[in-house]
Structure 1
Amino acid sequence: MKQCCLVILMIWSITVSAQQERTWEDVWQETMTPEDMEDMDEAWEDYHGYLQQLADHPIDLNHTSREDLEQLPFLSFQQVMDIIEYLDRYGPMRSLNELKMIGSLDYQQIALLPFFTYVGEVAREQPHFPSFHNIMKYGKHTVMATGHVPFYERKGDRNGYLGYRYRHSLRYEFHYSSYVKAGIIGAQDAGEPFLANQNSMGYDTYSYYLQLKKLGILENAVVGKYKMGAGMGLILNTSFKLGKLTTLQNMGRQPNTLRAHGSRSEADYFQGAAAVVRLCKPLTLTTFVSSRPIDATLNDDGSAKTLITSGYHRSKDEMKKKYNTHLSAYGGSISYRLNGLHFGANAVYSTIDRTLRPKTSETYRRYYPQGDNFLNASVDYGYLHYRFSINGETAINKDGALATVNALTFRSSGDLSLIAIQRFYSYRYNGLYAHGFGNTTRTQNESGLYLGITCAPLTHLVLQGYIDYAYSPWPRYQVSQDSHTWDMLLQGTWQWLDWTVQARHRTRLQQKDGSDKNSLIPCNEHRTRLSITYSSEAGWTSKTQADYVYSVYKEMSQGWMISQQTGYQQDTWQACLSLGYFDTDSYAARIYLYERQLQHEFTFPSFYGNGLRLSLYAHVSLNDHLRLATRLGYTNYFDRSSIGTSLQEIAQSHTTDLDIQLRWKF
């Protein structure tokens, strides 16, 4: 342990004066908490992929619109309108530095926007949809192949999995300005068969799409696989479910952009066609139709017990569940927006070819979705003022159960913004595509109030905090009676020249079943993080981070981790080294660590026990069209002789993984 600490301190002392421009992921991870990652589950992989797509095709601020900027999930309604107003008042931007002149943009937005926007030529884009000839002549192509090579075997690799241990994917995308986007992605996880079994067409899963924008009154249309949202997500949100800290950044705005499903995730997507039509200046109509196969665990009578979204088809049991059920959905919304006022009506109807019959003998599942058809309808409403905004949505399901969420935001003339979000989700309310703001992944069985604040008491200091109270009147998983939860966070970010210092503490006070399951006992968790980053344009970067966790549920557990990231960048290549040492009592005190990623790949590993984590990322541009990237990860546990359980068990105390990616743009 002493040797590991000495190594970390040596690296820190060498690189404390290191400098480099950061990536959008480096900035974005500062706005997410580990709990947000867990709550979003596999949906975060798709979310990461969407942000990467936006970064690959940034928005030209001099040729943008409100709809274009609303694609960026970290901007609030007010910030979008302030950017548009600045462009209308002062004309085209000459530099991204002008963003600092827009008072409503905070530190995080100013740091993120350069990765997703740019300042183009002042000359206007063509006013009409381009010709097919120009699309094919000037469109850009991207082909990307990614592979994951583990230098170890899991138990299932020897006996249990149908495929080999390597994970790989192939991605093709065609892009022409903001008008046309098309693509196809093939992917499979480790252990899944390739060109065998039920995967005779090659990959285990494919995603494909064609998206057109600004084609006359047709503002946006997607054929293939897509994601979308409406209102504040109470009946329809397959696009985003932002965390509580991110909510402070965008002031509760729910991005409802219709977008192509361009990731390898198999959760929460539609398959078919959708379109947004501008009926007149203030009035838009959105319609969609979807029909897709899904995985399900079946009861003995052939009905569906649960719907599965993990997308794993590695073993015989998992392969038997592949696409054994069919889900269809139809719906749409009509929206009116004028002079800050907006109003919308939304409806979604779904049918399943098997009756959905969960195990309701478990009390907490009593009001889970049941049957073979589902109907949800809602109205959303709001008003935007330069000082405050009001937004909300109220919904019902076919049984008449109610759900409502309402947000109020206020921004003073100074650097102070406040947000309050009230929600009430009846324990009888449910929706297959509902993902509203809340304390759990289900938009059900919850009443709560969220209060957040962002302020800048000093020139270089930004303070953010929230407090959220949630009450559940019906039992939940591991909670056999009504319960409540408190969630509180305070974060300070000090940024001066090339230095960024961030401190964060989060407390979650919950209730769970005791050993006798007849009473509730506290389940409390405290997480603290301190990070120091130094970066500039000279080519180097350095980030030192310390994490501490204290958890109490039936027994006390605590842990800590110290990590160091060091990087160097030139015009054609970049490298980043990450080293961390962790020591925790149990899984309850696990600690998450962000590491540099390959494009369109997402990992946010957690660590518990005692061990060392090492990661090395590098990429090189071979020429103007080809780029090769790689990431090597090594984890060594000092307190165990095997890693994982069941078919995922690894019969050794250390793992080494290699990721390789080749990107070709032409």
Structure 2
Amino acid sequence: MTSMSRFLCIYILLILGMPCLAQQTKESKLQTTDYSSKVWTPLFEQLCDYDDIEERGIEDMFEQLCELEDAPIDLNTATEEDLQRLFFLSAKQREDLTEYLDRYRPLRSMGELALVESLDPLRKELTKSFCYISEATEKRPFPTLKQIAKYGKNELVAAMQVPLYEREGDRNGYLGYKYKHWFRYSFKYGDYVKAGLTGAQDAGEPFFSNCNRWGYDHYAYYVLVRKLGRFKSIALGQYKLRLGLGLAMNTGFTLGKTAAATMSIPTNAIAANSSRSEAYYLQGAAATIGITKHLDATAFVSYRKTDATLNDDGTVKTLLRTGYHRTQSEIERRHNTSQLATGGNINWQAHGIRIGATAFYTTFDRELKPNEKQVYQKYAPRGKAFCNASLYYAYTHHRFAFSGETAINGEAALATLNTITFQACSNLQLTAIQRYYSYRYHSLFSAAFSDGGRIQNENGVYVAASWQPHKKLALTAYTDYAYHAWPRYRVSAASHSWDNMLQTRYQPNHKWTLTARYRLRLSQQDYKKSDNAKALLADKNEHRARLSAAYQSGAWSTKTQIDAAYTSVAPPHSEPTESKGWMIAQTAAMRLGIFTLAANAGYFHTDDYQSRLYAYERSTLYNFTFPVFFGEGMRGAVLLRADITPNLTVIGKAGTTKYFDRNHISSSLQQIDKSHKTDIDLQVKWKF
């Protein structure tokens, strides 16, 4: 690609945003006044750095926010358990909001949120997106079956992705056609009753044939009941469960490092599983019951089939979570292992103090026997039966919040996680997180704060600050050091990492948001001079920076974003290898009557995968698109949404990626023998 061509690409990207900017002198009268996802999506994006959150965590977070948007919380009747669902609030903010509601209910307007001192403007707006105020002043009784049947709301969503290209596996290898599609039906009555069924099919999987004689490759089904007498929650079918801070049990999401500076996930929660993913859920029944005003108990049982790679003797080599069943070998690994889990939790809380204990037992019908020749697998779960137990604790005061959990497994290995948050003043919050995860500790259901993504083999300290020196300016920073005592994947010795981030957000007015972010990560990885040489630890330095300018006025919005990455790997006594890259992206959206049009385009140029870059892309409902880019190329997408009636929505999206540095994309059965790929997404949502 010539320098002139590159210049033209960049120039086109920049002028794409000009029509939106030209409207800043006029306020459109077409902007809706409700707090819809058009509002909370960019607000929530400001709190998170998606780079350090697992994809399933991002999907889970957005799933819960979409559910909250559909069934918002009534602040005049909300319980503490209801407010726990506002996970974008810190523990201190949630406690202050609870205290204000207990003292001053009934609220007359959402403007009263301004009187909750610890709530910053960003979280006030987010809270407005998922809460409302009714005239009710007392807790409503559980509805009758007649009321549920008469006033319950149904929603059906169907979606399909059509690739305008052919993969190698589509020609020879995959047993199904190349289209990806899914449906999702849900029934809701407020936040009291929720039931649903989801069917999902990945591209290449057989449909109504082979192993899928019932149609879709994966089904998710659930019934969730809340506030039924003493029962706070009852779940049947597939569900997600979080107990404590997640060291022993958490099949839901965790926060990334940027979000951990200002957010706090709830300690105990039962949620329905409507995800299209075949991993990270339980199947059976779970319930939480209030024994007394301050004491409640949770019990659960789960039995499900899971995918696994087997050894020659029939034992399990690896538990799989991809959910792909496209080829004969993938189908042979489908649901070949059974898992049973059962346990419970008891929780007491009063006067800002919370204490709880969790214990559960897990067994498989096959023995887990990972490959011991791989040193990093030496302390992976091994055997047929496993048990875990934990104790968690929390205390919240006027300016101070402390929470922690200490867990143990059947081999008496320890894991502990402790968090302290201090509200130094109304505009400064300090957070410190200490964790110690023994390399011998393991839980098959753990998910919590970590650097390596696993609750094992990590000892570290995280310190963060969130400061708003002026109402228009907000600063967030963190530093995190972690030590790994045992070898890890692609790291054949003890190692350490140091992660640092600084972000500033400036809002000169309610229309403009300017953001700058810099991240420096120092880590270690294996390096070999040749295939037969001994692996040596090399120091790896990653620099990542982002600048963005977002503008929103009435029905128009636009955002320009520039990303840069520089990575160097320095082996002992050798010259470092370097990789660098950059990307510029432009997004724009407008709303005109029943139509919403959104478009984005970006140009990226990186040396290789080491300097890869990420960019959020607006997508269809219940989809979160955050593609990774490396090499040289362009990405563009256009989305059109039509709200034909209040109950019928149709969405179409076309996205294409063009590479300038290759003549094929991907490899093996996923290989596309072209330098570009285009996908069409179609979706219909019907409420009845």
2:131 matches 1:109: no
Deviates more, 1:618-627 or 1:322-331: 618-627
Cα displacement (A) at 1:517: 4.1
Contact 2:618 / 2:624 at 8 angstroms: preserved in 1?
Answer: no
What is the deviation of 1:509? 0.3
- Equivalent positions of 1:397-408 (< 5 A) are 397-408=409-420
Residue in 1 aligned with 2:199? Answer: 186
Contact 2:428 2:465 in 1 (8 A): yes
Asked if 1:542 corresponds to 2:584, the answer is no
Q: Which amino acid letter does the alignment assign opposite residue 644 of structure 1? A: S
Stretches of structure 1 that go unaligned for 5 or more consecutive residues are none
Q: Go from structure 1 to structure 2 and tell me whether the alpha carbon gap of 1:46 and 1:198 turns closer, same or farther (over 3 Å shift).
A: farther
Moved more, 635-644 or 98-107: 98-107
**Pair 1:518–1:144, CA change in 2 (3 A):** closer
Aligned to 1:226: 239
Kindly provide the CA deviation profile for residues 264-304 of structure 1, in whole angstroms up to 9, marking residues without a partner as x.
11121000000000000110100000000000000000000
Distance 1:18 1:326 in 2: 59
1:10 alignment counterpart: 15
Aligned to 1:68: 82
Report the equivalent of 1:529: 546
TM-superposition CA deviations, 1:177-231 (whole Å, max 9, x none): 1110000000111111111111100100000101111111111010000001111
1:108 to partner: Cα distance: 3.4
Question: Displacement of 1:239 after TM fit?
Answer: 1.3
Match 1:82 to one of 86, 92, 96: 96
- SS at structure 1 position matched to 2:97: helix
Q: Which one of the candidate residues 630, 633, 637 is aligned to 1:611?
A: 633
Supply the AA of the counterpart residue of 2:110.
L
CA drift of 1:91 comes to 2.7
Amino acid at match of 1:9: L
Residues of 2 paired with 1:96 and 1:499: CA distance? 23
Structure 2 gaps of 5+ residues are 1-5, 25-30, 33-37, 570-575
Amino acid at match of 2:292: C
- 1:662 maps to 684
Cα shift at 1:599: 1.0
Q: 2:256 aligns with which of 243, 254, 274?
A: 243
Alignment of 1:190-589 (within 5 A): 190-250=203-263, 252-495=264-507, 496-515=509-528, 516-536=533-553, 538-553=554-569, 555-589=577-611
CA contact (8 A) 1:240 1:254 kept: no
Aligned mates of 2:139, 2:57 — CA distance in 1: 36
Check whether the contact 2:243–2:250 (CA below 8 A) recurs between aligned residues.
Answer: yes
Q: Aligned-pair distance for 1:23?
A: 3.9
Contact 1:45 1:265 in 2 (8 A): no
Equivalent residues of 1:50, 1:262 under 8 A apart = no
Name the SS for the 2:434 alignment partner.
strand
Per the TM alignment, residue 399 of structure 1 is displaced from its structure 2 partner at its CA by 0.5
> What secondary structure does 1:228 align onto?
strand
In 2, the alpha carbon distance for the partners of 1:637 and 1:330 equals 50
Distance 1:400 1:552 in 2: 40
Offset of 1:87 from its aligned partner? 2.4
Q: What are the equivalent positions in structure 2 for 1:623-634 lying under 5 Å apart? A: 623-634=645-656
Query: CA 1:644/1:110 → structure 2, altered by over 3 Å: closer, same or farther?
Result: same
Q: CA deviation at 1:570?
A: 3.5
Q: Determine if contact 1:465/1:489 at 8 Å carries over to the other structure.
A: yes
Structure 2 vs 1, CA of residues 397 and 306 (structure 1 numbering), >3 Å: closer, same or farther?
A: same
Task: Tell me, in whole angstroms, the C-alpha distance in 2 between the residues paired with 1:18 and 1:369.
Answer: 59
RMSD of equivalent CA atoms = 1.5
Deviation, structure 1 residue 101:
2.7
**Structure 1 length-normalised TM:** 0.97
Tell me how far apart the structure 1 counterparts of residues 448 and 69 of structure 2 sit (CA, whole Å): 26
Please report the TM-score for the alignment, with normalisation by the length of structure 2: 0.94
TM-fit CA distance, 1:26: 2.3
User: Displacement of 1:571 after TM fit?
Assistant: 4.6
Local SS of the residue matching 2:338:
strand
Pair 366,254 (structure 1): closer, same or farther in 2 beyond 3 Å: farther
The one-letter code of the counterpart of 1:652 is K
- 2:334, 2:23 → 1: CA distance? 49
How much has 1:41 moved relative to structure 2? Answer: 3.8
Find the partner of 2:643 among 621, 625, 632: 621
Deviations 1:427-479 (A, max 9, x none): 11111011121101210001000001011112211100100000011111111
Which residue of structure 2 lines up, in the alignment, with residue 593 of structure 1? Answer: 615
Match runs of 1:158-169 below 5 Å: 158-169=171-182
Query: How many Å apart are 1:518 and its aligned residue?
Result: 4.0
Residue identity in the other structure for 2:243: A
Q: Which digits, 9 at most, give the CA deviation of each residue in 1:95-135, with x for residues without a partner?
A: 3333233221124322322332223x212466321110011
Per-residue CA deviation, residues 482-516 of structure 1 (Å, 9 max, x unaligned), is 11100001111112221111111111100111214
Q: State whether residues 95 and 396 of structure 2, in contact with CA within 8 Å, keep that contact through their aligned partners in structure 1.
A: no
User: What is residue 146 of structure 1 aligned with on the other side?
Assistant: 159
Question: What's the counterpart of residue 573 of structure 2?
Answer: none
User: Residues of 1 paired with 2:139 and 2:118: CA distance?
Assistant: 31
Residues 408 and 27 of structure 1, relative CA distance in 2, 3 Å threshold = same
Q: Is the 8 Å Cα contact of residues 429 and 465 (structure 2) preserved in structure 1?
A: yes
Secondary structure of 1:87's counterpart equals helix
Identity %: 45
CA distance in 1, matches of 2:43, 2:328: 41
- The separation in 2 between residues aligned to 1:630 and 1:203, in whole angstroms, is 23
- State which drifts further: 600-609 or 204-213: 600-609
Cα offset for 1:34?
4.2
Distance 1:479 1:604, change over 3 A: same
User: For the residues of structure 2 that align with 1:202 and 1:82, how far apart are their CA atoms?
Assistant: 49
| Bigger Cα displacement from structure 2, 187-196 vs 124-133 | 124-133
Q: Number of paired residues? A: 661
Paired with 1:69 and 1:190, the residues of 2 have a C-alpha distance of 39
